[in-house]
Structure 1
Amino acid sequence: MMAVEIEPIVLELDRLEQLAESGYYNPYTMFDWPEAIEPGVPWMSESLTTLAGTPMWDELTREQQIALTRYEAVNFFSLNIHGIRELMSDVVMRIHGRAYRDVSEFLHHFIGEENEHMWFFAQFCLRYGGKLYPAQPALRAGAVDHLSPVARELVVFARILVFEEIVDHYNAHMATDESLPRIAREINRVHHQDESRHVAFGRMIFTNLLGQVARRDPDEVPVIARYLEDYLQYSIATLYNPAAYRDAGIPDALGLRRRALEHPARAEAHERVLRRTRRFLSKAGVGREAVR
């Protein structure tokens, strides 16, 4: 059985490490947390809500629309918290392994930054929303359990990459949305700033491991492509949380979730969110066209 090995990517890694060090900030002192957020202000960009572009959004009262932006912001940040906790666990298990010795330094920066992200997301949710939403059921990974060690490592880092790219799409938009409270814009801005490095690193690791899989057992590539397509769809679906609908005072939460997920306007919105990731996966040879 061939071992996992991260092949040299030193020059680009040095650049990312320097950026992490030069851009260091103290999250515990940098944010100006208001006592409360003014009423009537959305917490998430209205165009990013799960009902945007559908008749279901227009059928809501303005009060319900604002409430939905608030609870979907809490859901979005809660998803970040649970996703960060999962990816930190995966990285911590590997950080000093032989295969990752050349990237261990950056992984230390990565873990430190992700821990801080988890803190400020939780601060927002608990201070202003009074809650975190529980983690949603995970996508079963049985379809890839039988793959080679290198392919399974690829799947781990692919999940991290997909999670970060989807989140970053939302962060980049909300960081500049002047309709949002300043604290919400700042949290999204800071996270976007850090995630640009994490995504660059994730793509390097992904490309590195995928190259090994393709050379050693190319038949595993379409299996990975299928899993990643399922994971993209799963990740998008987690944004549609019936509990957020109920908290916003919208009836028939489960039915609303189903109708929203099936609406053509939402399918178009999903493609916009996933466009950058799909382009990368297709170029790498594991896009949906590679699924058999």
Structure 2
Amino acid sequence: MVSEVIDRSERFQGILGRLSAKSIDDYYNPYRLFDWPDRLPDDMWWMSPELTTTFGSELAETLTPQQLHTLSRYESINFYSLNVHGIRELLIEVVNRIHTAGFETPSEFFHHFIGEENEHMWFFAEFCLRYGGRIYRQPAGATSGAAPSAKLESLLVFARIMIFEELVDHYNSAMAVDERLHETIRAINRIHHQDESRHIAFGRELVQLLFQDVKSTATDEELAEISTYLQRYMTHSFESLYHPQVYRDAGLDRPHEVRRALLASPGRVRAEEQTFRKTAKFLKKAGIIR
């Protein structure tokens, strides 16, 4: 049983206590924290150029500095839109499990997690609506697909949450300290990175425990399905950054062709590997992916 695996882990219970205390100590009011200027400058980067989907591509070499700045604006709106959608989905899954059988022990931390993620969703949506006038929808094909087995659901849910948070944090940690970006952009990335460091620490511990529980009764075929599923989910998550509407709004011709070309480029492969370098190392060391 999940509860038995979790309850037997003194390490996990100690981590939960420290993370809950840290959440209380670091608590802030997001509705008063940020400075929201009426507009952000058009002639600057809205996302670190190294993180944009066109970085190092042949297409980038054909664009003017102003076109690259414009593209970074819409890419940033898409990135924060993905945060809104991703947070909504993870909140649904965690709320469905708080104070239920098997998840009694982490439920106290779930309360902090839910509160913090709700506030993250608010300030990411606020940024999108203030400076982009919209929240981008997820493009078709960017979702994870059906779970391979119902009994693996909780493991896969929390593994997906962890993967999503580690993808986002890779971007947050870089943009939080990038002085080429406006202070408002650095601030929302900085505060999100602060909170996500706790969520990632929690997620990794929980995912390992859930995997131990699943592994004790799973067949080799089921374990292989988990590995394939999570690797596919990482790719789908990363490819959601490549949004044809972003390219259209930035004034690029044939946006769907632009997306296909960028997804097929060597730069996309390198960027995905770099983004998930730590995540993949953790999942492989834990035996979750092969």
Residue 33 of structure 1: aligned partner: 36
**Aligned-pair distance for 1:140?**
5.0
Contact kept in structure 2, 1:7 and 1:208, CA below 8 Å = yes
Tell me, in whole angstroms, the C-alpha distance in 1 between the residues paired with 2:183 and 2:217. 50
What amino acid is aligned across from residue 248 of structure 1 in structure 2?
Answer: A
| CA distance in 1: counterparts of 2:229 and 2:109, whole angstroms | 27
2:217 maps to what in 1? 216
Number of aligned residues = 283
Aligned letter for 2:195? D
Corresponding position of 2:45? 42
| Partners of 2:211 and 2:288 within 8 A in 1 | no
Q: Deviations over 1:112-163 (max 9, x none)?
A: 000000000011111111111013345354351x35x2x2210010110000
Q: Does 1:241 align with 2:210?
A: no
**2:286 alignment partner in structure 1:** 284
CA contact (8 A) 2:42 2:69 kept: no
Percent sequence identity is 48
CA distance in structure 2 between the partners assigned to 1:270 and 1:12 by the alignment: 30
Matched with 1:192 is 193
> d(CA) in 1 for partners of 2:233 and 2:58?
28
Tell me the CA shift for residue 252 of structure 1: 1.1
Q: Secondary structure at the residue paired with 2:134?
A: coil
Instruction: Give the structure 2 partner of residue 152 of structure 1.
Output: 153
Say whether the 8 Å CA contact 1:67–1:248 is kept in structure 2: yes
TM-score, normalised to structure 2, is: 0.95
Deviation per residue, 1:36-71 (Å, 9 max, x gap):
112301111111000101111111122211111000
Match of 2:228 in 1: 226
Separation in 1 of the partners of 2:144 and 2:187?
34
More displaced 10-residue stretch of structure 1: 132-141 or 91-100: 132-141
* Alpha-carbon separation, structure 2, partners of 1:140 and 1:244: 21
- Give the match for residue 259 of structure 2: 257
Kept in 2, the 8 Å contact 1:224–1:286? The answer is: yes
Q: 2:136 aligns with which of 133, 136, 143?
A: 133
> Structure 1: which amino acid aligns with 2:85?
H
Between 1:106-115 and 1:9-18, the stretch displaced more is 9-18
Q: 1:17 corresponds to which residue?
A: 20
**Which of 68, 75, 80 is matched with 2:83 structurally?**
80
Alignment-derived partner of residue 73 in structure 2: 70
Paired residue type of 1:194: D
Structure 2 residue matching 1:53: 3-state secondary structure: coil
Q: In structure 1, what is the Cα distance between the partners aligned to 2:214 and 2:176?
A: 37
User: Is the contact made by 2:144 and 2:233 (CA closer than 8 Å) also made in structure 1?
Assistant: no
Question: Is the 8 Å Cα contact of residues 167 and 275 (structure 2) preserved in structure 1?
Answer: yes
Q: Secondary structure at the match of 1:99?
A: coil
Structure 1 residue runs of 5 or longer lacking an equivalent are none
Pair 1:55 & 2:54 matched = no
Kept after mapping to 2: 8 A contact 1:52/1:266: no
Deviation track 1:160-207 (CA, whole Å, cap 9, x = no partner) reads: 000000000000000000000100000000000000000001101100
User: Aligned partners of 2:188 and 2:180: how far apart in 1?
Assistant: 14
Q: Contact (CA 8 Å) 1:74, 1:132: kept in 2 or not?
A: yes
1:142 to 143, 146, 169: 146
Q: Distance in 2 between matches of 1:142 and 1:264?
A: 29
Aligned partner of residue 216 in structure 1, secondary structure: coil
Residue pair 2:155, 2:210 contacting (<8 A) in 1 also:
yes
Give yes or no for contact 2:160–2:233 (8 Å, CA) kept in 1: yes
RMSD of aligned residue pairs (Cα, Å): 1.2
